[in-house]
Structure 1
Amino acid sequence: MIAKQDRQQAALDAYLSRHPQLAEEIAALSDAEQRQQILWAFEDAADDRGLQPWEYALELIAESPEQLREMRLETHREVAEALGMSWEEYCQFNEL
């Protein structure tokens, strides 16, 4: 499994590899501008799918449905903890 701190970049890399025309379109831009364009395109793609960017990122990098489920639960548990909610309360609130 990809380390948490590396997931976003891995997802952006996976997104770009699946959209080579984007790489061609932005090739003349600076590195910073390329990164921004990739991020915007990635976020738009997530929105088009009705997903939050973090959810789309996990879909792109998960190696199996089980791993995707595990990473989603891990993220939800972190959010519940950050909100100071019990896991049961969080699951009920978010219909998990």
Structure 2
Amino acid sequence: MAATEHQHEQALKKFLDERPELRAELDTLNPLLAQAKGETTAQYRDERLHEAFEAEAERLGLFAWELTLQLTAATPEDYQAQRMEVHKEVAEMAGMDWLEYCELYGLGQ
């Protein structure tokens, strides 16, 4: 089961709450930059937040959905179970053998 939109929004909130410097940066974005992109200030801010979130996931060697699960799971065990469930879904959708998929992505089954 992939992370839901609600989970992702919770993860973004927690991510931002843990990074006051990022919050300050996002709160002081130049509105002219948003206007130049044809976006509202809120849309431009949200886009920058998502970029920072994805960059952090990449820095940690995770997919963004994995970081979402990590930030919203009740326990590390819950995170691991949800993470493996999503990976299994992806492997099935890709028509890949589970063991081959695990080897490709360095997952311990």
TM-score range, shorter chain: 0.7 to 0.9
Listed as ranges, the gaps of 5+ residues in structure 2 are 30-40
The equivalent of 1:84 in structure 2 is 95
Q: CA deviation at 1:95?
A: 4.6
- When residues 91 and 48 of structure 1 are mapped into structure 2, their CA distance, relative to the original with a 3 A threshold, is closer
Percent identity between matched residues is 37
- When residues 84 and 61 of structure 1 are mapped into structure 2, their CA distance, relative to the original with a 3 A threshold, is same
Listed as ranges, the gaps of 5+ residues in structure 1 are none
TM-score, L = length of structure 2: 0.71
Larger Rg: 2
Aligned partner of 1:26: which letter? L
The equivalent of 2:72 in structure 1 is 61
TM-score, L = length of structure 1: 0.79
- Aligned alpha-carbon RMSD (Å): 2.0
SS in 1 for 2:62: coil
Matched, 1:44 2:51: no
Matched, 1:16 2:20: no
